[in-house]
Amino acid sequence: MTLAALPLAMRRWLALLSGAALPLAFAPFQLWWLAPVLVGVLFLLWLDVTPREAAGHGFAFGFGAFVAGTWWLYISIHVVGGAPPALAVFVMLLLMMLMAAYFALAGWLAGRLTGRPGLLACLLVMPGALVLTEWLRGWVFTGFPWLTLGYAQLDGPLSGVIPLGGVYAASLLTAGLAGALALLVAGELRQRIAAAALLAMLAGSALALGGRDYAEPAGPPLRVALVQGDVAQERKWLPEELARTMDLYRDLTLGVQGADIVVWPEAAIPALAHQVEDFLDEMATHAVENGYALLTGILIFDFLRREFSNSLISLGATPGVYDKRHLVPFGEYFPVPQFVRDYLRLLDLPYQDITPGPRRQPPLRAGDVLLAPGICYEAAFGGQLRDFLPEAELLVNVSNDGWFGDTIAPHQHLQKARTRALETGRYMLRATNTGVTAIIAPDGSVTGRIPQFEVAVLEGEVVPMQGETPFVRAGNLPAVTMALLLLVAGGTLRHLNPAL
């Protein structure tokens, strides 16, 4: 049974509603089992239809998913960012439609390479097309890898594949499960038997992969302290807030005893580094005298190049600087003509570009421990984090999730950081302005956290780790190659034997 016999309008609505339910599979809801079920519905909609109809179903599914899963963009752009409502809605809907276009491309490929329901369509072509386009969505035009299917499996039985092949390997298995479920519904008896066998094999493999350790301790445990200042984004950059904010972070840090590493959030001090040089020198001196490394996010202006950078600096006995490499379009840089910049300036909106840091940068140091740094949005790009590995023994991510308000976005963001820890077999120190500040273990579990919108210090222990997970060695290449092979093999075999 396929869904092709239903009226087109009904199928479009089914695709839209199925997509709108997809964010329930991700944090904070974490109904991981919904991902293969809902994608299975999409696959059923792709069977026995023209490529154009399949593309339309894919677009509706993707649009529903991103409306329901990234509606918080309106908060970021209008409520916190101050853009006019009409402009905020326009930018938000434009991004959602662009993201939905990737699902449309996957649908078109599925419709073009398959016909009647069969093993090749459900188990090869559709999973391959979906994951390939998902991977493209993660890097084309700087990438927006939100709602990548594999993240939903972080707390599910497929999480064991994440250290092997990364988040896209988990996506591929999710799509394979979806194909098997679709075949159970739409296939002939022998195809249903094959689908049931595949489901059993995937379940057994997932159980076998779980709980394996690919890294080992590289030294004794370290005491860490993560500071969450909870400075409201609407007031953060007001001149009268600067002294209060510096006092807040100083006092919270001076209250920490026996820490080896103290971490402040992204742009914790709302000023350029040269404007608060005396304060930073004071904190560096205290760090040296008390034997800890202080990491803080701050903006830096390069007078020689006349450029701004969003940076993470290490103060103490082992100073260092990391400049954010993967910037947020329309948040940290503005790919628009000058007249649009002039318009943004008139509205008192940000219009000045941040300059990305070079790809190759050394790890930061905290004494003898090497740290793989990341700032905010960079937690979504596991492939780039590999540039610091396997040398780095800890992961550090600083963020200002105050831009998201009290929405689902900070929880989605934390889920990505947890996935990076599991991919690499390293502890992650994640300090944010308003939450979620957390210490994350190498298995992706959260060992400590601060509730959102509270001023607090999270203290705990982490262990420097050494060794390589398979993902650290090979990155996303194996998963993406497998998706491509599935797509090509399915299309080729279908051409050679239309009965399959």
User: What is the mean predicted confidence (pLDDT) over 286-291?
Assistant: 96
Contact 194, 176 (CB under 8 A): no
Where does the pLDDT of residue 347 fall: very low under 50, low under 70, confident under 90, or very high at 90 and above?
very low
Residue with tokens 């302290």: 225
Contact 229, 268 (CB under 8 A): yes
Domain ranges of the chain: 8-213+476-496, 218-468
- The per-residue pLDDT for range 367-394, each reduced to its tens digit, is 999 999 999 999 999 999 999 999 999 9
User: What is the mean predicted confidence (pLDDT) over 158-177?
Assistant: 95
Say whether pLDDT at 1 is over 70: no
Residues marked as catalytic: 266, 324, 376
Q: Which CATH superfamily is domain 218-468 in?
A: Carbon-nitrogen hydrolase (3.60.110.10)
- The per-residue pLDDT for range 120-130, each reduced to its tens digit, is 788 899 999 99
Say whether pLDDT at 348 is over 60: no
- The per-residue pLDDT for range 445-477, each reduced to its tens digit, is 999 999 999 999 999 999 999 999 999 999 999
pTM of the model: 0.94
pLDDT of 336: 52
d(CA 429, CA 224): 8
Where does the pLDDT of residue 194 fall: very low under 50, low under 70, confident under 90, or very high at 90 and above?
confident
Q: What percent of the chain is predicted at pLDDT more than 70? A: 93
